[in-house]
Structure 1
Amino acid sequence: MHETCTIADSRATITASRRISPDTSVITLACPEIAGAARPGNFVNVRVSSSTQPLLRRPFSIHNAENGQIELMVKEIGCGTELFCRTEPGTELMVLGPLGNSFSEPSGTFSTAVLVSGGIGTAPMRFLEKAMTAAGKKSINLIGGRSQKELLSDNLSNCRFSTDDGSCGVKGTVVDLLDAEISAIAAEGRVKIFGCGPTPMLKALASYCRQHSLACEVSLESVMGCGFGICYGCSVEIANPEGGTRTILLCREGPVIDGALMV
């Protein structure tokens, strides 16, 4: 995992906002300082209103970064995200980032990156897929959701799907989909798994990868009120290589961790 060195609190301008599902938007913000420093897996904390309500900033994975702009995939799950999704282009907001660490740089230890995501966990995968493509790696996206209407695959390629109700792709979890696909994928070369999604999904993914000796990195979801280790809202337990467990702050030592450390 790669640590972030440069963090800026920038005044960013919304340049575009488009709906990709009934409750999810991709919002583009002009903020060159953050866009230039961002890496796949980083997140930003956005003050979604110029007023004191809501008080805390909201964290969002960086969906893409290019040409001095970042894209954020935002799902409406409360008053803050609903307000953000309905904010008009031209509005200026304060954005802190890039925050957290990032996925590891593509290396020669694998030829195919399998990007496993569930729900809004697809948010960082576009940026990660671009990095893999630039490094000459093949990417395959395995995307899961409760039903077809909840699948999010904005600008992703080589997508394969699973749904809990069987309305699209494999009926079952995205880990079931990985199990169905991995033999054929691995036959083409060495594989590394990259995951993002709800914690239960990531625990199941990490367990599967341990059982099958697959290298795996996961990006965890958590409440991140401050983004730099002051509020302690994002503490999680991970395995300690020397035995037992230890507590980390995801905003400082995450959100990306080695899947082998999931407990």
Structure 2
Amino acid sequence: MTVYRCEDTLESVFTAIYLAYEEKRDHEDTMVSLTDDPILFAEDVTVQPDEEKTRKVMNTLKRRFGGEDCEYLCMALAANDMDKAQAVYRTVVEGLRRGCGPGHLFDNLADNYIHRAFALARGVSTEAGHQKQFLRFQELENGVLYSRIGPKNDVMVFLMPHFADRLSIENFMIYDEKRNLFGIHPAGKAWYLLRGEEADRPMQLRYSAEETVYQELFRQFCHTITIKERKNPKLQKGMLPLRFREYMVEFI
């Protein structure tokens, strides 16, 4: 067996997929792994992420499976799951082997790998949708709009295009505190990510005077419209999970 040892990034996994085809590996006897767990008698190959190889794989996936299914594969790789790399790899292998056209990559959900990749992608898509609804921006003293989030999955790359389109003339940033990752959008320019050691965790934030006033007004508004007799905590938790509330002004 050949085991490609990857970093937990899309670039690393796509590079491993490229290498598996370039080196003509037996896909039934090949694994793409994000862990260092030893496998008896396996040949380990350490993968160095390659931008050109990643681009080639991405172009092939878009051409063969269509943009929507390609995006779903990317979403699966954004999931907080250590088996996602193998699931995506084998889903791609099966899709190419069966000659799946656009929109049909995930048709065979009886296949364990395809079903796993689909489930992971659906979970990431759902969380990205929730973040778009529940994310709160707050204005800092310097006029920058700032939001803090803590998602289970790495959804930043799916959030930034959404807000960059709607807040194109604003300076804003979104901070994923679980991954020490910033999504930064300068007004009128392209957005970008700042990750890891390059990004300093924000320590003390100072809100603008207007922001402080509006936060208090919004809290009072939410309390005022509440109908005590119709309070339903169980339903509320179903509609708004508790893990989102620590990042929402009205619950602070």
Q: Higher Cα Rg: structure 1 or 2?
A: 2
TM-score (normalizing by structure 1): 0.34
TM-score (normalizing by structure 2): 0.35
Q: Which is richer in strand? A: 1
